[in-house]
Amino acid sequence: MAGFRIIGSGRYLPGEPYTNDMLSRVLDTSDEWIYKRTGIRQRHYCPEGQGPSDLAVPAARNAIEDAGIEPSSIDFILFNTMTPDYLLPGSGAEFAAKLGIPGVPALDMRQQCAAFVYSFQIASAMLTSGAAKRILIVGSEAHAGYMPWHEWDVLDGKTDKPQSQEDRERATRHRGFCIIFGDGAGALLLEATSEGDAGLLSAELHSDGSQIEQLRIPAGFKERPFINQKVVDEERMFLFMNGKEVFKHAISKVPQAVRAACKKASVSLDDIDWFVAHQANDRINIAIRERMKLAPAKVPSNIKNYGNTSGGTIPILMDEMRRDGRMKAGQLICVFALGAGMHWGAVIIRL
Ligand code: COA
């Protein structure tokens, strides 16, 4: 049967972590509030002047080294990010050039936190049809660019000057979203195979634009000019997130997608070795797990260390699990995610 194997993985988290206590230097919050509501203790931020194409390079190099292949043998790239280096073009081509393989086709995926489940379906279709032999899927984010405080020196503890009241008030107004997100990159290398039964067994993907207002940056090309003072005055360059609605959507729609994907693949929930969940908020994944009566040990979590790295969470978690020996060839995994758009879904993969 034609399918694919995962032959390499890698991850990269920039710099030293920023703890919840450090965030309280620039906004009104606490470690207790953040940890209790989200399960997050710390996150990383991309240095100023770098973007997702930069963070993705060391992650991809790790994956290439892990697989023991030549970068020139990669014949397609799927680049997942919701925080691109530029508003246009997407970051994939720039990333490929920085990786040293300019010319390789690179497709930019805009499904935000759900991009990886979409990428698995596209990669599978390309690898089983013969359109590609080796695909590099990358998820990389630089959310630091839309963090609502501007006085980074205060956060970094590099100044004796107190934070301005204006900066603290702005950051506190947006504290509901900003404490969740962190930066980082993960990469997976997929190779076509005609041996064994490894590959995608099923995909259950959905998009619903009627829910767009729950999670978006409400600035864009409808305006003339598209960057204007009104956007800044109305603070529409930040993420608007209706946390409660996103939460409700995730815990109702994701279990439906997981069950449907299992049905399509003719496998039961008990057959799955690992449920690899997008790491948006630990409370979402605990609620999904409890609704579906999944064993806690089968739904691994690493959000405590990284926060929500959007497109990066799934490959970062899979890389950790492959490297520490938990995730092995032959196992059956279910990957699920929900992201802005809204997009969501689940895929079943035989490793
Ligand atoms: N620190 C301290 N207090 C905070 C805070 C923070 N970072 N953020 C919000 N609060 C306060 C609010 O001001 C509010 O105070 P009030 O009751 O005095 O008005 C109170 O905490 C409750 O706020 P609310 O926004 O209702 O909290 P919540 O219980 O809905 O939790 C989220 C907020 C964001 C943690 C939660 O809704 C969530 O995680 N949703 C899912 C979001 C998600 O997964 N997004 C990514 C999708 S890919």
From residue 322, how far is each of 45, 50, 138, 316 by CA, in Å? 24, 28, 16, 10
Model confidence band, residue 60 (pLDDT cutoffs 50, 70, 90): very high
Is pLDDT at 314 greater than 90 in this prediction?
yes
pLDDT at 257: 98
Which of 46, 113, 178, 334 is flagged as catalytic? 113
pLDDT in tens, 170-214: 999 999 999 999 999 999 999 999 989 999 999 999 999 999 999
Domains of the chain, residue spans:
3-193, 199-350
Q: Across the chain, what does the average pLDDT equal?
A: 97
Tell the CATH superfamily of the 3-193 domain: Thiolase/Chalcone synthase (3.40.47.10)
Q: Of all protein residues, whose CA lies closest to atom 7 belonging to ligand 1?
A: 175
Q: Of all protein residues, whose CA lies closest to atom 11 belonging to ligand 1?
A: 176
Dist CA 238 CA 184 (whole Å): 19
Going by DSSP bridges, is the β-strand pair 215-216/199-207 parallel, antiparallel, or unpaired?
A: unpaired
Is pLDDT at 162 greater than 90 in this prediction?
yes
Residue 307 backbone zone (phi > 0: left; psi -120 to 50: alpha; other: beta)? left
Tell me if residue 278 is catalytic. yes
pLDDT in tens, 257-306: 999 999 999 999 999 999 999 999 999 999 999 999 999 999 999 999 99
The structure tokens listed for 68 are 């023991």
Is pLDDT at 35 greater than 80 in this prediction?
yes
Residues with Cβ within 6 A of ligand 1? 29, 33-34, 37-38, 113, 175-176, 179-180, 241, 243-244, 246-247, 280-281, 284, 308, 339
pLDDT in tens, 205-245: 999 999 999 999 999 999 999 999 999 999 999 999 999 99
**Range 199-350 has CATH code 1.10.150.450:** no
Is pLDDT at 1 greater than 80 in this prediction?
no
pLDDT at 153: 98
Is pLDDT at 2 greater than 90 in this prediction?
no
pLDDT cut 70: percent of the chain above it:
100
Fold: same for 3-193 and 199-350: yes
Dist CA 54 CA 36 (whole Å): 33
Rounded to the nearest angstrom, the distance between the alpha carbon of 131 and the centre of ligand 1 is 45
Which amino acid is it at 59?
A
pLDDT at 270: 98
pLDDT in tens, 91-145: 999 999 999 999 999 999 999 999 999 999 999 999 999 999 999 999 999 999 9
Which of 143, 278, 305, 343 is flagged as catalytic? 278
Is pLDDT at 253 greater than 90 in this prediction?
yes
